[in-house]
Structure 1
Amino acid sequence: MTERFDVVVVGGGAAGLAGALTLVRARRSVLVIDSGSPRNAPAAHLHAYLGHDGRSPADLLAAGRAEVAGYGGRIRTGTVVAADRLPDGGFLVRCGDGSTVLAGRLLVATGLADELPAVPGLRARWGRDVLHCPYCHGWEVRDEPVAVLADGPLAVFQAGLWRQWSERTTLLAHTWRLTGEDRDVLAARGVDVVEGEVTGLVVDEDRLTGVTLAGGGAARCGALVVAPRFTARSGVLKGLGLPSAALERDGHVIGTCVESDPMTGATAHPGVWVAGNVTSPMEQVAGAAAQGVRAAVAINTDLIEAETRRAVEAYRAGAAERAGEADGPGTPRSA
């Protein structure tokens, strides 16, 4: 028979595991299904997470899995390909290996995929010295020559932001056409501009030292900042009528996300919650974990309310039956 859980958590990153931990401590039966491909896997360390600064992302997730399992939670390696709504309000969760499980509620914490600009070599160094978040990596490259790749509307903002960590910040014009106002802003912040399309990376002894430019030129840098497109991993939700929505910043589309209540993570589909980067692409690890906790509290509350409704209905039905038996057959019921 197909196993049934109070909650199936899809995705075992910080958001999913924090949600699962909260739910198992609430004495819920929980299954976490995780593909084993966290977004921050390329990074050697995570930062700005109080008490865990500098810790390996892999170590944090291993500790989280052990904590969930310690309270009786189940964790399974695999992928979820679809979830079907059942007449009782629960879900039939279909996995990539053909197996299925039943869930009373769903918490989807599948994260996002970073789509990088089309420059050869970026993916291999992503999370090492090809970066996007200064709050995650800025301290580690402070005062180093930092180059910002301009291939979208946020490049000037990024250059001004990274200038906080290094006075040697350069904007690579690349394929983006800078306006006069852009150049004034950059000059005022002390950010140099290098013209020319970037064609590749220069790596020496497994360290980034610069980029090559069309026409044979080059620019030196120890870190290259890019603006990825944030694409929500939301495939499991599409069958439930929850397609991803455009993610905008300053009037520009920078990716996709699954819309949800900002406090609880509740979606427009009853019984389905989301947490972490799948709904908040800009969230860091600490914030994603907090979202998982809030969603778990909302899920447990929802389950309690449903259980209470059923208990009241059963109690009233039993009371009516007992009253009928007390009256006896053929005895008129009192008003």
Structure 2
Amino acid sequence: MDTDVLIIGGSFAGLSAAMQLVRGRRKVVVLDAKRPRNRFAKASHGVFCLDGKTPEEIRSTALSQLQAYSSFQVVEDTADSVDVHEEGFAVAAQGGTTLRAKRLILATGITDQLPDIPGVKERWGRSVIHCPYCHGYELSDRPLGVLATSELSFHQAAMIPDWGATTLFTQGHLNPQGEVLDHLLARGVILEEAPITQLEGDGDSLSEVVLADGRKLPLEGLYVSPKAELTSPFIDQLGLELEESFTGRIVKVDGFKETSVKGVFAAGDLSNPMQSGTFAIASGTMAGVGAHRSLIFNQ
């Protein structure tokens, strides 16, 4: 199967890139394994005109609109490997299909490595969250906590009091100092050094946390900044250059989202230091425009 642009990943970033390209009258194939990072969330909030829609609703709407364009195709399969050849790229999928394209957009997202605390995984994206703009409003005016996973958690803890009374759980080893501590205290943040050992509550709701010393504290929302891992095999296969950001390593891109390998673009959380549905959409839009420009000007 030959196309102008192959997009690996069919969530917010990948489909946004596809929209720019089909409107540019280019042939586009989206190869999607249907395992987006946002699949754990009940709703996507803060997305312009789509506030409160589920990720699947947004994806379905985007697909229905894209399928009105004759140059669009989606293939539901998992990409296995990518090869570079003179005319572009060849991607082998698990189902046996090989897709060839002049340009490649990676929108595979990242994988969250959550703290190994009982009850965290079951509530991820519901009452255990990472972004106050995405999910914080729904947990307003409740007892809230921030689980310290790095010094970035201090910044997060300073923000959360705008949504509710906040406790920073230092886990006994990540303790703010100096001006950072003064700012947290001025914001009304309570510090708790005893580590959280378990989360409790009905279903995916959170009602309290159990501490290492046996105490139980009421808590209805816990913010966690998980360690994000770049698990896409294509980063190594293509030899893409990475860079450090305040949220971890990301794929290095230029202003049009092109990577260190000519003709390969990266969109969404894979290349965004700040990550949300809105940022993914914007990133995908730019990647689509960038790929289209590169086809026109052979850049």
**TM-score of Structure 1 vs Structure 2, range by shorter chain:** over 0.9
CA–CA separation in structure 1 for the residues paired with 2:108 and 2:172: 32
Alignment partner, residue 63 of structure 2:
65
Whether the 8 Å CA contact 1:80–1:236 is kept in 2: the answer is no
- Give aligned pairs, total: 297
Alignment partner, residue 289 of structure 2:
297
Whether the 8 Å CA contact 1:171–1:193 is kept in 2: the answer is yes
Whether the 8 Å CA contact 2:243–2:252 is kept in 1: the answer is no
Whether the 8 Å CA contact 2:123–2:204 is kept in 1: the answer is no
CA displacement at 1:259 relative to structure 2: 0.7
Whether the 8 Å CA contact 1:151–1:175 is kept in 2: the answer is no
**1:67-87 CA distances to partner (integer Å, 9 max, x unpaired)?**
122102110111112211112
Alignment partner, residue 175 of structure 2:
178
Q: Which has the higher contact order (CA 8 A, sep 6+)?
A: 2
Q: Where has structure 1 moved over 4 Å in runs of 4 or more?
A: none
CA–CA separation in structure 2 for the residues paired with 1:275 and 1:105: 13
Gaps of 5+ in 2: none
CA displacement at 1:212 relative to structure 2: 0.5
CA–CA separation in structure 1 for the residues paired with 2:26 and 2:177: 59
SS of residue paired to 2:105 = strand
SS of residue paired to 1:204 = coil
Q: Does 1:235 align with 2:233?
A: yes
CA–CA separation in structure 2 for the residues paired with 1:201 and 1:103: 47
For 1:245-284, what aligned pairs fall within 5 Å after superposition? Answer: 245-249=242-246, 254-261=247-254, 263-284=255-276
For 1:1-335, what aligned pairs fall within 5 Å after superposition? Answer: 3-72=1-70, 73-88=72-87, 90-166=88-164, 168-181=165-178, 182-204=180-202, 206-242=204-240, 245-249=242-246, 254-261=247-254, 263-306=255-298
Gaps of 5+ in 1: 310-335
CA displacement at 1:228 relative to structure 2: 0.6
CA–CA separation in structure 2 for the residues paired with 1:256 and 1:162: 25
Alignment partner, residue 324 of structure 1:
none
**1:40-90 CA distances to partner (integer Å, 9 max, x unpaired)?**
1111111111111111111000111111221021101111122111123x1
CA displacement at 1:118 relative to structure 2: 1.8
SS of residue paired to 1:207 = coil
User: Alignment identity in percent?
Assistant: 36
Q: TM-score, normalised by structure 1?
A: 0.84
Distance 1:237 1:145, change over 3 A: same
**1:88-136 CA distances to partner (integer Å, 9 max, x unpaired)?**
3x11111123321111110111111111112122111100000110111
**1:15-37 CA distances to partner (integer Å, 9 max, x unpaired)?**
10011111112111111001101
Q: TM-score, normalised by structure 2?
A: 0.94
Tell me which amino acid in the other structure corresponds to 1:268: S
CA displacement at 1:160 relative to structure 2: 0.7
SS of residue paired to 2:45 = coil
* Larger of the two Rg values belongs to structure: 1
Whether the 8 Å CA contact 1:199–1:213 is kept in 2: the answer is yes
